[in-house]
């Protein structure tokens, strides 16, 4: 496994997002040159994205470009200006429930946008494209833990369908144009400066406001919660290590990236309450469309290839989140 090469230029789309910001900061700390690209949309509070960017802009090696990955001219202009060696495509319209009511946003960002990134990587000859897929591709699979060998052609949300489509598009581009590609199926990433649309963040806001939190499937759910620092370490190790060609000549690989330890939702809420120092009022509701009962990552491939060892407990992770949250929203 090659270490991070700080002489290379890294383009990170979704650069003002949670994972994009966290990865960028780690690369910048090590002296790498990072180009961030983000359209700064208002899917959740833009002020948090701006605060993340303010931290990144303190580093000499950081450049931010506002633009949309679905805008071909903007994408090609950025590739031409900076000639990134390695691209990390994290820009996407996220969220399962939002995809039910706002499908257009997912087609534009997750399909058209990803296509434009693939095209730019094709024309500008990048060394490695790492892209975000999602644990949502596993849909209602009953077999756990979820393995990358599992069949994933029965998505239960449009969001999941777009992420599976990204994997298929990526394979075709690797096979046709020789682009080394690695896809990462992320499992419920959480931590400080995280996404306000995620359940743990919504819970924290409502708990502190004294409002009831909505708990689906009457609390009978499990999630493979993965702390942001563990995620960033895993992604960083992959960047300078593109996959070898398979038997079809495609330099392509998919990995699960998760904690490999599903937690009961009610246990997670209990720890969050303790970290915030306040008990939640609870409203129990049935399962929502697009939701799944359990997520559980088989990360044996990532462990084998990149020595991936997620080590942050939910007690540690939620304690750090709560400390940040209480200060940020004081």
Q: Which residues are catalytic?
A: 159
**Given strand 62-66, what is the order of strands in its sheet?**
62-66, 33-38, 9-13, 86-89, 128-134, 181-186, 252-257
**Integer Cα distance of 270 and 265 in angstroms:** 9
Of 114, 105, 109, the C-alpha closest to 87 is 114
* The pair of three-digit structure tokens given for residue 329, joined into one six-digit string: 């929203």
**Integer Cα distance of 110 and 129 in angstroms:** 15
Residues composing the chain: 330
Distance set, CA 277 to CA 57, 204, 318, 319 (Å): 34, 11, 12, 11
CB 93 within 8 A of CB 114: no
Q: Is 9 exposed, middle or buried (0-12, 13-18, 19+ CB in 10 A)?
A: middle
**Integer Cα distance of 179 and 125 in angstroms:** 8
CB 253 within 8 A of CB 133: no
Q: Are β-strands 263-264 and 222-223 bridged in parallel, bridged antiparallel, or unpaired?
A: antiparallel
Q: Is 3 exposed, middle or buried (0-12, 13-18, 19+ CB in 10 A)?
A: exposed
* The pair of three-digit structure tokens given for residue 250, joined into one six-digit string: 């495609």
Of 97, 317, 295, the C-alpha closest to 214 is 97
CB atoms within 10 A of CB 81: 11
Give the distance between the most distant pair of CA atoms in the chain: 57
């Amino acid at each position: 496994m090659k270490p991070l090469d700080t002489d290379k230029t890294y383009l990170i789309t979704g650069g003002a997002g949670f994972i994009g910001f966290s990865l960028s900061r780690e690369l910048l700390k090590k002296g790498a040159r990072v180009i961030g690209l983000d359209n700064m949309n208002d899917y959740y509070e833009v002020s948090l994205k701006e605060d993340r960017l303010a931290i990144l802009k303190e580093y000499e090696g950081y450049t931010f470009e506002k633009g949309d990955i679905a805008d071909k001219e903007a994408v090609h202009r950025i590739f031409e200006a900076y000639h990134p060696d390695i691209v990390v495509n994290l820009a996407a319209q996220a969220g399962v429930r939002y995809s039910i009511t706002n499908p257009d946003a997912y087609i534009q960002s997750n399909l058209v946008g990803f296509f434009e990134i693939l095209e730019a990587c094709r024309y500008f000859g990048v060394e490695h494209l790492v892209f975000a897929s999602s644990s949502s591709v596993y849909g209602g699979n009953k077999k756990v833990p979820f393995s990358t060998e599992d069949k994933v052609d029965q998505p239960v949300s449009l969001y999941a369908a777009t992420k599976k489509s990204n994997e298929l598009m990526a394979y075709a581009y690797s096979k046709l144009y020789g682009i080394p590609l690695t896809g990462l199926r992320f499992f419920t990433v959480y931590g400080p400066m995280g996404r306000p649309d995620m359940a743990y963040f919504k819970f924290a806001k409502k708990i502190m406001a004294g409002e009831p939190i909505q708990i689906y499937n009457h609390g009978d759910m499990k999630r493979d919660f993965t702390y942001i620092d563990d995620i960033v370490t895993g992604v960083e190790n992959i960047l300078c290590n593109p996959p070898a060609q398979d038997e079809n000549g495609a330099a392509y690989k998919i990995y699960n990236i998760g904690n490999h330890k599903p937690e009961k939702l009610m246990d997670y809420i209990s720890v969050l309450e303790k970290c915030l120092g306040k008990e939640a009022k609870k409203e129990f509701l049935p399962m929502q469309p697009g939701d799944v009962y359990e997520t559980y990552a088989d990360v044996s491939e990532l462990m084998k290839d990149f020595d991936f060892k997620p080590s942050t407990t939910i007690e540690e992770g939620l304690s750090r989140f709560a400390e940040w949250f209480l200060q940020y929203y004081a």
